Structure 1
Amino acid sequence: MTVECLICTAPLPALTAGELRLPCGHVQCESCLQRNFSVSVKTMPFQPVLCCARIDITVFRRLVPSAELAVYREKLSEFLDRAKLYCWDPNCSAFIPNALRSRTASVVVGKCRRCHTKTCMRCRGKFHWGPCAVNPDSAAAARAAASDRARRRALLEEEKFKEYSRARGWKECPLCRRMVEKTEGCNHIQCFCGCHFCYRCGRQPYSTHRGCAM
């Protein structure tokens, strides 16, 4: 008995399919999982690898190099963090993960992995001893400025990713905006989100598609 890969429809032996079966019940072959992982790492702003839900990082341990897995883990940490902390230095603004944050009775500080400076977790400014020297309005302004820097950085990264995608001929799903790469087969694409569209012209639904003039 064989099972088809959800993405490329390649037949997989039952034993292999069992090892690759995701919690949602779908199966993606190793090549498709590796390709989806590669696309996910490059998405800007970052989007984790998905099927019906986010695919657990443990699935990729034996499929991708450890260096790429470390990059993905860092991006996922920022994506999932509900209290994001960024380096106070406007020339850096790198994300500071929980592992690099220290909380004691008198000090709450995060150390930037990129430039090694420290950021106060209360006022989001340069690390200092004692009470924050700024009033709540100034602290809110500092947080807003840090958020704006992060937003501008994300927009710049997104534009770089779009240029990267266009250079490789990737197409954007018209429903969820996820980038899709077709390596073979016809122009009928089924995205992870369930949208059926034409890879050539981008129109959906494909069921009513009768060719395009491109």
Structure 2
Amino acid sequence: MDDLIKYERRSSSFSENNRHSSRAHIVNQLSQLGFSLRLIQNAILYTNSNDLTTLIFFLSKGPEGWDHEFIPNEEYLCEICNEKYTEHSSFIRKDEDREILRKSIHSAINTSFISLQEDEKSEKKCGICFEVIFDQCIIPGCDEHFYCKQCITKYLEAKISNSQVSGIPCPGTTCRTIFSDDFIRSFISPDFVIKYDKFCKREKLIKDPFIKFCNQPDCEGYIRGSSTDVHQFCNICSHEMCFLCGKDWHLEVTCEEIEIKKYNKWAEGKDVKVCPFCNYKIEKNEGCNHMTCIICKYEFCWVCLNPKFSNSGPCACPQQYNNDDNHVNYIDYDRRRIIINRILLGIFIFLFWPLLLPLAIIFAPTYIMVDATSDEDNEVIPHFTRCQQVLYAIPITICVPLIYSCLIVGGFLYLIFKMCCWCNN
């Protein structure tokens, strides 16, 4: 009987360890996907799920808004994502249900962080993965939050991977404790220690006004100089550099002339102008003539560079209605350019359509299938939608070329048949 009890305890402990490791792994994965720790904590508390897909659906904002319910707080913002109800696909309609759910989430959050102080005999739970702690991490200077060593290691490694090495704080949302250098080194692997030292050194060098980094690819060296001592050599690759502009050393040319030459070479053949307010260089590659500078937010007309006064017309510039020469010439040039582009496109399609049409018919379904299985702009595509698109694309990819081949062969046989009939007659 004693052996059976010991076996059951070991099995229970093994199960808890597996569950804890799984949740810690999920928290780390969601953190690497870019979700904040606060959102991840709310998602785990709200769903009580260890399924990565379920948590991603909960944390993702689709075309119709957030998939989780809108749970308003005192400011009528969502308790979970802190956004308005218009950004949610559904919400809790009954006031009593809303209040109960809001209180339950507050209770769960408070329990996960402060209930351990009230009852020392209760089991401590990790503030990151919310599982029972088997290997507790002692954080100097922080007595309010408790974490697993494994979770703290993942947390520190994620911060270091993102080059966030200056003043790494405790994961607690209200905690101001900053991890010491020795504490960080004691939890990360040797590879991350090398990265940590590298990023720390780089941050110190960035703050030094007499330091500039080498401009050569794959070189991590730097130069040290001043406004009076500009000719410097990289401490690693010995590359000659100018300290003032950070470019290659130029003996008989000033930094301003180098910048102007580089700018003129880049701007050649491009529609480039400077903002009339802050002189920031702007390139216009498409769109209307109403421009907004990304630096100073100054709104102006691209043609005459006058400020924008109203929202009427294509570019909201009053000068275009006064037969202004700049606008007339620009509009004529724009129209000529559009007409020429359309003529060239028409000629290209007319000459190559016999080749383009079969390729489009054969490879379009394949493109749809590849596009359905790829994540553009790091967007999280629902698995059901992705599978549905692939299921549509596979039979189309198989059937369309066969149908196209049958039509070609059938048409060819039909022509032969007609020719035979004509010969017999």
Scaled by the length of structure 2, the TM-score of the pair is 0.25
Tell me: higher relative CO, structure 1 or 2? Use CA pairs within 8 A at least 6 residues apart: 1
Answer with 1 or 2: which has the greater Rg: 2
Q: TM-score, normalised by structure 1?
A: 0.43
Bigger helix fraction = 2
Q: If each structure's strand is expressed as a fraction of its own residues, which one has the higher value?
A: 1
